[in-house]
Structure 1
């Protein structure tokens, strides 16, 4: 037999072996899945009944079976899909409302647009979007209103001052008699601050250098002494605010080079209106507290009324009084709870007192439980005073013991 014949025979045998080996592979490689990968069962060739396992990338959820099996040269039941995880409730932004309907779940790609309240300016993109189960960073609403325009030495603000001024609003100054104004008499609120204030300088006559006229008036306050027509260099007066007002700034001002140093202002108190609280379905957090008046700077804590839960778009429930202004939080109607006899039996508990006419409890209502006879508490004692929370009751648990 020649060398050529041997070589030809070997090549034919190799071709047949390769053909048989390829014919023995029952399935082709399992298909790839977008946003996912195979984590188990990977081989160079797949035979009948071989299995592979899929998993999804973070932020994606598996739709379909995670395992597929080689059966009759086909992967059964077919590869799964990796779908983006939806997002939950939208994040609350203080001093803002959002456009659109409030939902429990938002699909991937959905967007929400915020709008700041009047007097607040948005910082950051006003829209957020849902991606892989998470919301993008929400914006911040910056307070760009102005506090009442400050008093100036030798003059005053015309008219009655408001607690807050919106951007673009103006205030007008006038000087006392025998004082002359330097600078513009009108100031404007811009980005939370006032434009440059004017000055009122006394018209000094020969031999009268350094004297001041009457001290400036302040709203909701007065000086503690009888005002004089003029004051010498270095003389001082003290101020006091009316009841429920807080003095901010120096209590005492001094006549210096013919002008008074800057006087203080009196910040207004806040009144927690029953009508406003009812409108927002809230009440004072501490039941025994009947303090409806709070001085500027104090904090007031609110809570939802029985039957209501916190609105996701609400402002914080701990509110600071700011010169007579309160920003009330808001609650929406909550879901009722239905008492489950099966859950009570499973946890070996019963109602502490005689049963109500109905097994329905409103959100925030308290349900008092106790153990069945021959059972003892396993849960924390506080858990036996359960509260209906927007349709959910966390039942305490008891276990049997040898009595």
Structure 2
């Protein structure tokens, strides 16, 4: 055999082998699909009519046939696609609106931006985006409005009152007569809270003190207003050093004068007449002069209460500080009507109260507490009462549907309408075969500024 014939035979064998090998594998491996995978029919060589099945990752939807078949060395039909699932309606966010048009369906990658209502502050990213059929977490609109501003002692709010205050809102205060504002006279709403509240300091003065060798001219009052003065005089044979007039400034007296004398041995320590007090007097006849250690007692007039020691003593030529007589308070019917209030306890007819006593008020029927009002438990302070205030409340309309839903009815009523004024009491009872599940006190409901809290009854199986 020649070399040419051997070479030709080898080439023919190789061609046949290659042909046989290619004829044994009908299709190459099925193509990969982005965001998807083959879940059925995977093998190491694919022949004619072999099939494989595709599926998509979560958040993606199959576009095309999930099955492909090996046919004529080609996978038929072509491989599918995995497309992101669109999103449905955007999630609602309380106290917010969103920018853009509201649609039934949003494509992957679309974004929506929220804007909080006035008085609310966004927490978290203000935008959401559609991803794999779901919206990202929406933001939260936090209420940064302020409630009623705080009350202050010896002061009141001068601004118009509201139920809610927007951030940046400013509320002004004013001190009562005889008090002085400490710090700024306003508070500002910031992030749902009020800035530091001012205070009102009492700038009245107590009675001017006694001095050795002298006394205050005239009758001492329990309190002195800022700018009021008192005058001192020295006893006979005493010389005054300093100004005889003192002034009440910021709750204290200006510098007191001194009364000095060259006292002979054995003659020191005497006092002049005891000081006079307003609405009170000493129990003994006053003398022009008192020895060291002598004492006198005081008594207040009717309807006044003595505060301080009832007895004072001459010590080293100076009387110890005398007491003061505090006036009683009269709860005026006219003043109560003007403020739409009444005494809290209906059986109480005590209109006179001594200084230091507490009087409790309540709103009249048809009225509710004014948010700017002072407290309803008031202390008598030297004849002065600071009356609280009530404003007209909203009426309540009795709901037959609510009564039916709660299985209750009126216990009895003489009213011809279903309208009740604020503070009016409404008596309920259970329908037949029902028993109380609410607190017994709830069955004596009260109209509270347009709202009725209905009690509830349930079916009795016993």
TM-score where L is the length of structure 2: 0.53
Alignment-derived partner of residue 271 in structure 2: 212
Residues 110-169 of structure 1 show CA distances to partners (whole Å, capped at 9, x for unaligned) of 999999999999999999999999999999999933345456666555566666544334
Q: 1:274 and 1:259, CA in 2 relative to 1: closer, same or farther beyond 3 A?
A: same
Are 1:398 and 2:452 matched, yes or no?
Answer: no
Q: 1:223 and 1:346, CA in 2 relative to 1: closer, same or farther beyond 3 A?
A: same
Paired residues in the alignment total: 403
Preserved contact between residue 92 and residue 314 of structure 1 (Cα < 8 Å) = no
Q: How far apart are residue 328 of structure 1 and its match?
A: 1.1
TM-score where L is the length of structure 1: 0.60
- More divergent stretch after superposition (138-147 vs 243-252): 138-147
Consecutive unaligned residues of structure 1, counting only runs of 5 or more, are: none
Preserved contact between residue 283 and residue 303 of structure 1 (Cα < 8 Å) = yes
Preserved contact between residue 222 and residue 325 of structure 2 (Cα < 8 Å) = no
Q: 1:105 and 1:211, CA in 2 relative to 1: closer, same or farther beyond 3 A?
A: farther
Partners of 2:416 and 2:133 in 1: how far apart?
Answer: 43
Alignment-derived partner of residue 364 in structure 1: 423
- More divergent stretch after superposition (9-18 vs 234-243): 9-18
Preserved contact between residue 84 and residue 108 of structure 2 (Cα < 8 Å) = yes
Q: 1:170 and 1:300, CA in 2 relative to 1: closer, same or farther beyond 3 A?
A: same
- In structure 2, the residue corresponding to 1:392 is in which secondary structure? coil
Partners of 2:22 and 2:226 in 1: how far apart?
Answer: 78
Q: What is the RMSD computed on CA atoms of the aligned residues?
A: 16.0
Partners of 1:245 and 1:28 in 2: how far apart?
Answer: 114
Q: How far apart are residue 288 of structure 1 and its match?
A: 1.0
Preserved contact between residue 219 and residue 277 of structure 2 (Cα < 8 Å) = no
Q: Indicate the structure whose relative CO is greater, using CA pairs within 8 Å and at least 6 residues apart.
A: 1
Partners of 1:78 and 1:21 in 2: how far apart?
Answer: 25
Alignment-derived partner of residue 4 in structure 2: 4
Alignment-derived partner of residue 167 in structure 2: none
Consecutive unaligned residues of structure 2, counting only runs of 5 or more, are: 144-202
- More divergent stretch after superposition (377-386 vs 84-93): 84-93
Residues 347-379 of structure 1 show CA distances to partners (whole Å, capped at 9, x for unaligned) of 111111135112111111111111111111110
Q: How far apart are residue 243 of structure 1 and its match?
A: 2.1
Preserved contact between residue 220 and residue 277 of structure 2 (Cα < 8 Å) = no
Partners of 1:2 and 1:111 in 2: how far apart?
Answer: 80
Q: How far apart are residue 181 of structure 1 and its match?
A: 4.0
Q: 1:24 and 1:94, CA in 2 relative to 1: closer, same or farther beyond 3 A?
A: same
Q: How far apart are residue 107 of structure 1 and its match?
A: 36
Preserved contact between residue 212 and residue 316 of structure 2 (Cα < 8 Å) = no
- In structure 2, the residue corresponding to 1:276 is in which secondary structure? helix
Q: How far apart are residue 299 of structure 1 and its match?
A: 1.3
Partners of 1:268 and 1:252 in 2: how far apart?
Answer: 20
Q: Which protein shows a greater Rg?
A: 2
Q: 1:299 and 1:55, CA in 2 relative to 1: closer, same or farther beyond 3 A?
A: farther
Preserved contact between residue 222 and residue 324 of structure 2 (Cα < 8 Å) = no
Partners of 1:48 and 1:335 in 2: how far apart?
Answer: 86
Are 1:312 and 2:371 matched, yes or no?
Answer: yes
**Structure 1 stretches of 4+ moved >6 Å:** 1-143
- More divergent stretch after superposition (164-173 vs 338-347): 164-173
Q: How far apart are residue 195 of structure 1 and its match?
A: 2.7
- More divergent stretch after superposition (17-26 vs 331-340): 17-26
Alignment-derived partner of residue 434 in structure 2: 375
Q: How far apart are residue 300 of structure 1 and its match?
A: 1.2
Alignment-derived partner of residue 151 in structure 1: 210
